[in-house]
Homo-oligomer: A and B are copies of this chain.
């Protein structure tokens, strides 16, 4: 087991890459991958979770700092949304002892940004 940080199945979601959406018409396969990521962003709770994760001072945040607080949904629901973000390739998670930490997958977030840079 060489990888240091991998926990919590993260389907290695690699997408082609990077020209803005206006440069060339997306083909169906690229569109499917990209749409999965955008869909994951298409929920207010997930957007706020991602915002918290990306703005965490240490580059990552403990799930214990996300649950229950000013999100008025239950723990399992938070967990479900984190899983959605994770499966979309936007964040990745790691358990260290008792707690689980999440951090952004910067490359994929940047790719989405680049795509929309008209």
Given A54-B118, A117-B110, A48 and B31 contact (CB-CB distance below 8 Å): yes
A71 to B117 CA separation, bound complex (whole angstroms): 24
Once the chains bind, are B47 and A21 in contact (CB under 8 Å)? yes
For the A-B complex with A110-B116, A113-B113, A113-B115 known, give 19 more contacts whose Cβ atoms are closer than 8 Å: A20-B54, A22-B54, A22-B55, A23-B55, A26-B48, A26-B51, A28-B70, A31-B45, A34-B44, A35-B41, A35-B43, A38-B41, A38-B47, A39-B39, A39-B41, A42-B42, A54-B118, A104-B118, A116-B116
Can you list 7 A-B pairs, Cβ within 8 angstroms, ordered by A?
A: A21-B47, A22-B51, A25-B48, A25-B51, A28-B70, A31-B48, A106-B118
